[in-house]
Amino acid sequence: MKYDVLVIGGGIAGIEASLTLGDAGFEVLLVEKDPSIGGHMIQLSKVFPTTDCAGCITTPKMAAAASHPKVHLMTYSEVKEVQKTGKEFRVKVLKKPRYVEEDLCIGCGRCEEVCPVLVPREFDYGIVGRKAVYIPFEMAVPKKAVLDLEHCMMCGRCERACPKDAINFLQEPEEVEITVKAIIVATGYNLFPPEKKKEYSYTGNLTLIHTNLNPNIIHSMQMERLLAPSRPYHALLRPGDGKVPERVAWVLCTGSRDKSLGNPLCSRVCCMYSVKQALLYTSAIPFGEAAIYYMDIRAFGKGFEEFYTMVRDLGVYFIRGKVARIESRNGNPVVIVEDTETGEIREDEYDMVVLSIGLLSNPELSEILGIDTNSYGFYVPPEENANPVATKVDGIFVAGTATCPKDIPDTVAEAAAAAAQCIAYLKEVGT
C-alpha cells in the first residue's frame, strides 16, 4: 500500500497534522497504537485558561479525521520497522488483533453488557471497571469493541450476544507493509508513574488496595476524569469510599523538577492544569475548599497569569512549599509540608489529594526511526530554534510533546508547522 505521509500517533498533534495534510490533497495513513484515536486530550475535562470543553474540541477533529477521504486510520496498530530507500520509506505496521471484525461491529455494546469479567478501565485510569470486551469510551473513533484476550474467560457470551457476528477469536496479528514519502512523528508523552514517589503513598491499583496506602490520593489524570462531563461516576466523588470531597489539595511537581526521580525538567502544564482543576472543583462543589502546594507558579502563556490570579482571588489557597510526605488519618490523606513563606511545618488533612504528575518522554520509536533523543528521551531537532519540527532524517518530522512537554495550543501549532514543512518537502521530492 502506498501513501504520501505516515503520521504516527493519533493524539491531537497527529490528528491536526493529518487533517492539514489531507486538506492539502495528500494521502495520509494515521497509525495509532490504542483502539481509538484522541490521545490524552479526549480524556481531559476542560482546557486552560479558557475552560473550553476538551471533548468538544477533540471530538469534531476525531470525526473529521475518520471521515476525511484522504486520511486513512489504522488503530490498534504499531510501527515496527522503518527503512529509508532513496526518497521513500518502507514501513512495517503490526495490526494487533481486536478479536472483533471492525467492518461488522456496530458499537452497540451488547458484548460488553454480557461479559462477566471486570478489569480496571484504562480510559479512566482504573478508578472504575470495564469488561474484558469493551468499547474503549463513548466517543471512541472508530467506535468498535475490542476484546482483551488476556483477561477473557473465553465463555463465548459475547460471541453469542453479538447481533452482527463480529466477534472473532481466531483473529491473528497482521503485518502490513506500506510505502510513504514522509513521516510525521506525533507519539506524545508518557505520564510520570506516581507510585515512584513513595513518600506520596499513591496506591496504583485501586482494586488491590494495600493497607498502608490511601485510595483517596489520586493523580491529576484521574482527577481530569472525575471532572470531565463524560466522567465515570454520577457526581464528583472520591474513589476511596464514594464521598463528595469537601477539602481537596493538589501537590505540584510530582515527578517533575525532581532530580531524585531522574526528571529535573519542568513539565510546563502542571501548574495551569492544577489551577484549572481547582477552579472546576470549586465550581462543582460550591462550599469545597481547594489548596495548591507549589514551589513556584509558572504561568507563562497567553492569559495564564490572569487565569491564576482569578482562581486565587476566588478563594483557592496557594501554599508555598515542597510536600515532604503524605500520610493517612482515618482514611483521609494528610499533607506534611514546610510552608516556606512562614517557616511553619504544617500537617493538613484533606478528603482527597491530587498528585499533579509530570510529563515524561515517549522515545519508543527512536531507534526504529533513527532520530536522536536527548538524555531525557525527547526527540531533538538538529536546529531546535530555527526548525523545531525537523529531524536529522530528511522526510521525518516531529510534532507535539514528542519533543518536550507543551500545552495544547503549542502542540496544535507545532502539528500544523510539521504538516507545512512536510508539504514543502513532498513538493521538493515530487509526489
Chain contacts with another protein (rule: CB under 8 A):
113, 116-118, 127-129, 132, 150-156, 159-160, 165, 167-170, 206-207, 209, 215, 232-235, 237, 239-246, 331
**What is the closest distance, in whole angstroms, from the C-beta atom of residue 136 to another protein in the complex?**
14
Task: Tell me how far apart the alpha carbons of residues 225 and 227 are, in angstroms, rounded to a whole number.
Answer: 5
Nearer to another protein among residue 17 and residue 218 (C-beta): 218
**What is the closest distance, in whole angstroms, from the C-beta atom of residue 238 to another protein in the complex?**
8
Nearer to another protein among residue 206 and residue 413 (C-beta): 206
Q: Work out the number of other CB atoms within 10 angstroms of the CB of residue 178.
A: 18
Of residues 308, 416, 431, 424, the one with CA closest to residue 7: 416
| Main-chain dihedrals φ then ψ at residue 47, nearest 5 degrees | -105, 150
**Is there a contact between 74 and 37 (Cβ–Cβ < 8 Å)?**
no
Of residues 308, 267, 312, 286, the one with CA closest to residue 406: 267
Nearer to another protein among residue 167 and residue 398 (C-beta): 167
Q: Work out the number of other CB atoms within 10 angstroms of the CB of residue 362.
A: 18
**What is the closest distance, in whole angstroms, from the C-beta atom of residue 118 to another protein in the complex?**
5
Nearer to another protein among residue 186 and residue 223 (C-beta): 223
Q: Where would I find the beta strands (DSSP E) of 369-422? A: 396-398
**Is there a contact between 5 and 26 (Cβ–Cβ < 8 Å)?**
yes
**What is the closest distance, in whole angstroms, from the C-beta atom of residue 148 to another protein in the complex?**
10
**What is the closest distance, in whole angstroms, from the C-beta atom of residue 287 to another protein in the complex?**
11
**What is the closest distance, in whole angstroms, from the C-beta atom of residue 210 to another protein in the complex?**
10
Task: Tell me how far apart the alpha carbons of residues 26 and 20 are, in angstroms, rounded to a whole number.
Answer: 9
Task: Tell me how far apart the alpha carbons of residues 329 and 310 are, in angstroms, rounded to a whole number.
Answer: 32
Residue 58 in 3-state DSSP?
Answer: helix
DSSP state of 169: T
**What is the closest distance, in whole angstroms, from the C-beta atom of residue 76 to another protein in the complex?**
18
**What is the closest distance, in whole angstroms, from the C-beta atom of residue 332 to another protein in the complex?**
12
Q: Work out the number of other CB atoms within 10 angstroms of the CB of residue 375.
A: 8
User: Hey, what's the torsion of the CAs at 240, 241, 245, 247, to 10 degrees?
Assistant: -60
Nearer to another protein among residue 34 and residue 124 (C-beta): 124
| Main-chain dihedrals φ then ψ at residue 380, nearest 5 degrees | -115, 115
Nearer to another protein among residue 167 and residue 408 (C-beta): 167
Nearer to another protein among residue 286 and residue 343 (C-beta): 286
Question: Look-up: residue for cell 510546563?
Answer: 268
**What is the closest distance, in whole angstroms, from the C-beta atom of residue 154 to another protein in the complex?**
5
Which amino acid belongs to residue 281? Y
Of residues 401, 378, 335, 357, the one with CA closest to residue 257: 357
Nearer to another protein among residue 232 and residue 400 (C-beta): 232
Nearer to another protein among residue 22 and residue 240 (C-beta): 240
